[in-house]
Structure 1
Amino acid sequence: MQTISDAYSRGAQALNNRADQIPPLLFRLILAYEFWEAGIKKFNGENWFAHITFPMPFNLLSNDLLWALGTWIEIIGAIALVLGLGTRIFALLLMILTVVAIGAVHWSSDWNSLAELWQGYAITDKGFGNYKLPLLYLIMFTPLLFGGAGRWSLDYIINKDNN
């Protein structure tokens, strides 16, 4: 019984030793891919924000300006995430962008009960919203916002030299 416990302890310690390396890197890379893809589609496409009503205070800005801001935050944010540079700042900016997108695009405008709202927790275009992926992005950004980019990042290298 002791050998199983020892093996578990050694395995757990090996995982703990990589906790500040692998998980933040994987979050950064998958989020970078998703936001790069979205930013490049905006960069190469037409402004489909023209008919969207954005939540306050974003509705005070023109939809053309919001299109440009969204495009460049996604593109520059994706590059920063890959490098692990300014990760907390870009995590926060991309989280704000995601919350605005949920409110303006993904959240159902026609729900009368929590059961109907819950139907929007889906990846679909068949009504009731479509906020599952954006919500998952927010959850994935949370450890980056609170814990930073991890050891395999420029943030770590810069902060290591300053300490």
Structure 2
Amino acid sequence: MWIFDSSIDKKMNSFALLLLRIVVGCFMLTHGVAKYKTLMDGGEFADPIGIGSSASLWLAVFAELVCSALLIIGFATRIAVVPLLITMIVAVFIVHSADPFGNKEVGGLYLIIYVLLLITGGGKYSIDGLIGKKNKKRGYY
């Protein structure tokens, strides 16, 4: 029965990665847009790691806006998730360190998804997948 089949279906796995990248990227993009508005309005932002509130806001906007957009299209996926991973590590383990678990769980879910994408990459249905396919044809790897 297919429900219990644990063999790897590469097309289905790549489709699952596509779906995951798009959904998580779009969700995080909304956070990035809000932070971008804060940046443009000159609003206040926290300084959780001691680099200044302005630098912290710029880095958060870069991660949540730019890197989420790269994640959605699957371009440089493994590189794009690194700033997102760092942002979630700071959010979960520094900003919300004293908060109850329930306030950390969403950040924790993002964190584990970004770890998964760091390991797997963007999958076949991504710009990374297209680049990888061309490089294989050219014999680069």
TM (norm. structure 2) is 0.82
Residue type matched to 1:43 in 2?
A: Y
Please give the alpha-carbon distance, in whole angstroms, between the structure 2 residues aligned to 1:9 and 1:105. 43
Match of 1:47 in 2: 43
Q: Is structure 2 residue 101 aligned with structure 1 residue 108?
A: no
Q: Secondary structure, in 3 states, of the residue corresponding to 2:17?
A: helix
**Residue matched to 1:71:** 61
The share of aligned pairs that are identical, in percent, is: 25
Tell me if the contact between 2:78 and 2:118 (Cα under 8 Å) persists in the aligned partners. Answer: yes
The number of aligned residues is 133
How far apart, CA to CA, are the structure 2 residues paired with 1:62 and 1:140?
28
Q: Distance in 2 between matches of 1:17 and 1:11?
A: 17
The answer for the alignment partner of 2:121 in structure 1 is: 148
Q: Please report how far the alpha carbon of residue 10 of structure 1 lies from its aligned counterpart in structure 2 after TM superposition.
A: 9.9
4+ long deviations beyond 3 Å: 9-15
Q: Do the aligned residues in 2 keep the contact of 1:47 with 1:64 (CA within 8 Å)?
A: no
Deviations 1:22-73 (A, max 9, x none): 2211221122112210110011125332xx352xxx31x2211110111122
| Alignment of 1:98 onto 2:78 | no
Q: Distance in 2 between matches of 1:10 and 1:65?
A: 48
Greater helix proportion? 2
Larger radius of gyration: 1
Q: Aligned partner of 2:105: which letter?
A: K
CA RMSD of aligned residues (A): 2.3
SS at match of 1:131: helix
Q: CA deviation at 1:17?
A: 3.9
- Structure 2, unaligned stretches of length 5 or more? 137-141
Gaps in structure 1 of 5+ consecutive residues: 1-7, 110-119, 123-129
